[in-house]
Amino acid sequence: MKQGRYEICLSGSGGQGIILAALVLAEAAGILEGMEVCQSQSYGPEARGGASKADVIISDEPIDYPKVLQPDLLLSMNQEACDTYFQYLKPEGLLVVDSSLVHQIPTNRVVAIPFTQIARKDLGKEGVANMVALGAVGVLSQIISPQSLEDALIRRAPKGSEDINRRALHAGIKEAQAINLKELPPFITSEEEEL
């Protein structure tokens, strides 16, 4: 794997399954791949609709500072989350957005995939958009094998939902594998800086 500390921030709104996605990611990296991992989250008091954010730090060394400082990868599952957290992304970090819900994208260094639309139209269940996104995040981070993600998902998914979640994960993996990261600009640059 990549050496050193890799910070992933998953953001969206309550009810989108952000925290479950983070948990599966942490389980895959920390338990199944045996790396060091530290996962934390913050969310509003609302059961649905409030802001939701989960941090996953993955490293091959012990993790001291337990919070994400500057994400290497930011997933934003809605516009508000993208607007709020984009500013913290590393200059060479990668933005991943749900293009069904994020329409104003602040950088060209972005992977835009319609996770929610794929979940609704192709899989028939909007609720698994988080797993579609997780599949893509796993591939784009380049530090976790799809197999570990799938195994972690089976361990953590609610009983009876394994199959639909597994299909969702693979839909996301397939989308991300079709993307060539080398074609993206190497740095995020805001429009103001370009002027």
Partner 1 sequence: MVERVLLKGNIAIAKGAIAAGCRYYFGYPITPQNDIPEYLSSELPKVGGTFIQAESEVASINMVLGASAAGARVMTSSSGPGISLMQEGMSYMAGSELPGLIVNVMRVGPGLGGIAPTQGDYFQATKGGGHGDYFNIVLAPASVQEMYDLAIKAFELSDKYRNPAMILCDAILGQMKEPVALEEAEEVTLEAKPWALDGSKGRKPQFLKTLYLSDGEQEAHNLELKEKYDRIREEEALFEGKGLGDCEIVVVAFGTVSRIVKTAIQMARKEGIKIGMIRPITLFPFPASIIRETAKKIPRIMVVEMNTGQMLEDVKLSIENGVKLGFYGRPGGGIPTPEEILKEIKVMLDEEGF
What residue ranges bind partner 1 (CB under 8 A)? 23, 26-27, 30-31, 34, 36-41, 63-67, 69
Considering the complex, state which of residue 55 and residue 98 has its C-beta at the smaller distance from partner 1. Answer: 55
The runs of H, that is alpha helices, within the chain are 18-27, 79-85, 115-117, 129-141, 146-156, 162-177, 191-194
Shortest separation between residue 165's beta carbon and partner 1, angstroms: 18
Give the tokens for residue 33: 């791949």
Considering the complex, state which of residue 5 and residue 167 has its C-beta at the smaller distance from partner 1. Answer: 5
Shortest separation between residue 34's beta carbon and partner 1, angstroms: 8
Q: Angle formed by the axes of helices 129-141 and 146-156, to 10°?
A: 150
Instruction: Give strand pairing partners of 97.
Output: 76, 112
Shortest separation between residue 187's beta carbon and partner 1, angstroms: 22
Shortest separation between residue 31's beta carbon and partner 1, angstroms: 5
Tell me the CB-side half-sphere exposure of residue 143, using CA atoms within 13 A.
25
Considering the complex, state which of residue 120 and residue 155 has its C-beta at the smaller distance from partner 1. Answer: 155
Considering the complex, state which of residue 48 and residue 67 has its C-beta at the smaller distance from partner 1. Answer: 67
Tell me which residue has tokens 């996770």. 115
